Amino acid sequence: MVSEWIEKASAGEAVWMSDLRAAFAGDPEAVRLPVRLQPAAGGQFDLPCFLPRWHSPDEQRFVEEYFFAFVYNLLSVCSGRSLTFFADPDDLQIAGLLAAFHRAFEIGTGNRQRRGYGKVINIAERLCEAEGLPPFSVTVLPAGAYAPAGSPAPDRAVDLPEQLRRCCREVGDKVLCGVDIGGTDIKLALSVNGQLVCLGEYDWNPAACTTADAILNPIYEQIDLLRRSAEKLCCPGEPLLFDAIGISFPDIVIKNRILGGETPKTDGLRRCFGSDYDREFARVGRLSERLQPLCRPDAEIRILNDGSMAAFTAAMELAADDGAHSLRDGLIAHSLGTDLGTGWLLPDGSVPPLPLEFYDLILDLGSRPAMALPPEDLRATRNQNSGLPGARRYLGQAAAFRLAQELDPGMLDGFTEMRDGRLIIRTEPEDLRKPCLEHLMQLADRGRPAACEVFRRIGFHLGILSRELNFLLSPHTNERYLYGRFVKSESVFSLLCEGCREAIQGMQLVAADESLARSPLMRALSARRGVTVAQFGQAVGAIYWSVFL
């Protein structure tokens, strides 16, 4: 069985993790290895991992890659304080596999500069440290000691729509700012006494920033610029200070703390500071302190991961339409643009204290020619931050560039250059990433077959990602709300839906566009010329988040 998958991978075909998981689970000779995770926030849950027997070094390497990807995906989404494997101590294949796992993930080394699979251990150790817990640990227990973990406690009963509608009333007498920080731009929205006063947008490239100040200062300056603009409009001659600021941030955010530090947005920081990276990244985590001078003394500055902000924003708008949606199954949303953000709002209105780093998932163990290319090459399937074949190269901006080059290189004429033997989208003297994506979307709008296929495949990959989401989290909802630049084109969104339906049955994609503008601030945004809900919706959602109880 394993040799057949290796042949497909070597031929350049995709070999999806979900297909492998189903095939291995149906193999009567496969070993069942229970995996138990204890999240940093407490509790525990189990996942079964089925591993086929191998009969050659090539098959062994492939099974290792599958097992490493299985654990890597689990930790990317959930992280935790410890992992436990329940294995037969006399099974030499499994014993060797677990020893290889320890080496590949650099377990117990204390090294915070891990790359590859060890990246998720960097994150786990930062999360444990933030919670005052011992370092992340791995334990192997005898298979006979395994007993299934108990079911998680049910969500507490709350009237989530009413909680969200209360936000609409809370903004009525306050000065509030919402900020959506992305990989190629910062979008801002400001409301005064319940009125959407002004919007702002600033193009940037945080991956090129080599100090924390280079990341923090533009955020501060753009918020201050918007504040001064509102000051002139609303109260000339009087200082205007914020009652609260809500921020959508593209990294792991737990309990209002920026904790991840392994995204492509901090590549420049990582390269510049090396072993001192943790210290400099911690300064980025003090964003709230940097913004305090713009606020009243008792103001709250509330930060949320960008994917979670997308989920909250969608729920906010659904709740504003009385009786239209109960939200009893919670809500899952993706922001699809420079990268992929994923957010999950539980039925009780809480955001799970999990990383939800779906953009980093290993979806494909095939496509070997593209996997062999350097991560910086736009044709590669490997994420730059990990060097592993990651979802970022199958969804979002990087996927559009890769697929365009594969299907019809002429679509990228004028946007690419060879640098150090690697094909890239030009970023100097002008950053052409956003214009290139817009160009591809326009070609799809005009019906160019290769451009249409780019976005249909991205939709298919979103369906593949949803298979992994369902396996790891078992959510009750089959709806996925989409935000971002991909959604602002009806034809592109239709192609995404078509591709997604091919990959997974019963999944419904919902465009977070003007049709979702139901709260007062979002309706005001929708009524503005030259902007869209898909673009600025999360900035407006961040306004509401700043006062969400």
The last residue of a domain, from among 95, 110, 145: 145
Note whether residue 511 is domain-resident: yes
Percentage of the chain modeled with pLDDT above 70: 98
In this structure, the answer to whether residues 115 and 166 fall within a common structural domain is no
Could you read off the pLDDT of 91-148 as tens digits, one per residue?
999 999 999 999 999 998 888 888 899 999 999 999 999 889 999 999 999 999 999 9
In this structure, the answer to whether residues 166 and 75 fall within a common structural domain is no
Note whether residue 439 is domain-resident: no
Give the whole-angstrom CA distance, residue 164 versus residue 318: 9
The last residue of a domain, from among 113, 145, 177: 145
Note whether residue 166 is domain-resident: yes
pTM of the model: 0.92
Of the candidates 97, 55, 104, 8, which has an alpha carbon nearest to the alpha carbon of residue 371? 8
**Paired tokens of 325:** 């949606």
Could you read off the pLDDT of 138-172 as tens digits, one per residue?
999 999 999 998 766 655 667 888 889 988 899 99
In this structure, the answer to whether residues 190 and 121 fall within a common structural domain is no
Sheet strand arrangement including 82-87 = 45-51, 31-38, 82-87, 137-142
- Is there a contact between 389 and 364 (Cβ–Cβ < 8 Å)? yes
**Can you tell me the mean pLDDT for 57-83?**
97
Model confidence at 323, in pLDDT bands (50, 70, 90)? low
In this structure, the answer to whether residues 105 and 221 fall within a common structural domain is no
**Can you tell me the mean pLDDT for 226-234?**
94
- Is there a contact between 351 and 312 (Cβ–Cβ < 8 Å)? yes
Question: What is the structure's pLDDT at 499?
Answer: 98
In this structure, the answer to whether residues 187 and 103 fall within a common structural domain is no
* Cα dihedral 455, 458, 460, 466 sign: negative
Containing domain of residue 121, as a range?
2-145
In this structure, the answer to whether residues 76 and 170 fall within a common structural domain is no
In this structure, the answer to whether residues 61 and 164 fall within a common structural domain is no
Note whether residue 86 is domain-resident: yes
In this structure, the answer to whether residues 137 and 239 fall within a common structural domain is no
Note whether residue 12 is domain-resident: yes
Note whether residue 411 is domain-resident: no
CATH of the domain at 309: 3.30.420.40
In this structure, the answer to whether residues 222 and 93 fall within a common structural domain is no
In this structure, the answer to whether residues 280 and 332 fall within a common structural domain is yes
Give the whole-angstrom CA distance, residue 386 versus residue 474: 26
Q: Which helix (H) or strand (E) holds 540?
A: helix 533-545
Note whether residue 444 is domain-resident: no
**Can you tell me the mean pLDDT for 519-532?**
94
- Is there a contact between 486 and 492 (Cβ–Cβ < 8 Å)? yes
What is the dihedral angle through the alpha carbons of 152, 153, 154, 156, rounded to the nearest 10 degrees? -140
Please count the structural domains in the chain. 2
The last residue of a domain, from among 120, 145, 170: 145
In this structure, the answer to whether residues 83 and 191 fall within a common structural domain is no
In this structure, the answer to whether residues 39 and 72 fall within a common structural domain is yes
Note whether residue 441 is domain-resident: no
444: pLDDT strictly greater than 90: yes
